[in-house]
Amino acid sequence: MGESGGRREFKVGDVLLVSCPSAPARVVHVTPFEVSVEWPWARIDPYSAIRWNGHRAIPRATGREWGGLFQVDPRAGDLEAGDSCLVGIPETLVRIIDIGHFDPPADVGWLPRPHTMLIVLPVDRPHDPLAEEEGDTIDLDSAAPIKIEPVSRG
């Protein structure tokens, strides 16, 4: 389970400092837009209706775009399928822009199934309420050792 500082209640607008220590991973696929790695933390859910393959795509940030919380090292542009890399979250200040609650937990293809997901953006990025696919998610039940430190209340 990720480190969420206990079962703290989060609110939209909260500012958090998030990080996750890097873990070794293997690159399985590379496109101009993302690098897919064998995900080092979650397990495939054998009872899921979703057939997750154990891979996770890490977007390549270009220019001023934000590629999301998880990043690979070496940089995504320097990797090819079959390469080894590290995947983790460097310390990042984020703001919660939405919260998803799931009861029963969401069927996403991996275990553990999430109960609560925070949708976040870096604090220096403006939030567009009309954008459908904005931000990145933090699964509070993640198997990844995500560290979440509250900075200020929204």
Q: Tokens for 58?
A: 């890490």
For 2-7, what is the mean pLDDT? Answer: 46
Residue 146 lies in a domain: yes
Predicted pLDDT of residue 1? 37
Residue 81 lies in a domain: yes
Residue 102 lies in a domain: yes
Those residues with Cβ within 8 angstroms of residue 75's Cβ, 6 or more apart along the chain or in another chain = none
Please state, rounded to an integer, the average pLDDT across all residues of the chain: 88
Task: State the pTM of this model.
Answer: 0.86
Residue 2 lies in a domain: no
Residue 1 lies in a domain: no
**Residue 112, preceding bond cis, omega within 30 degrees?**
yes
Overall number of domains in the chain: 1
- pLDDT digits over 67-114, tens only? 789 999 987 778 999 999 999 999 999 999 999 999 999 999 999 999
Q: Is the pLDDT of residue 48 over 90?
A: yes
Residue 6 lies in a domain: no
**Residue 74, preceding bond cis, omega within 30 degrees?**
yes
- Domain range spanning residue 21? 15-152
- pLDDT digits over 11-27, tens only? 999 999 999 999 999 99
Bridge-based pairing of strands 147-152 and 43-44 is unpaired
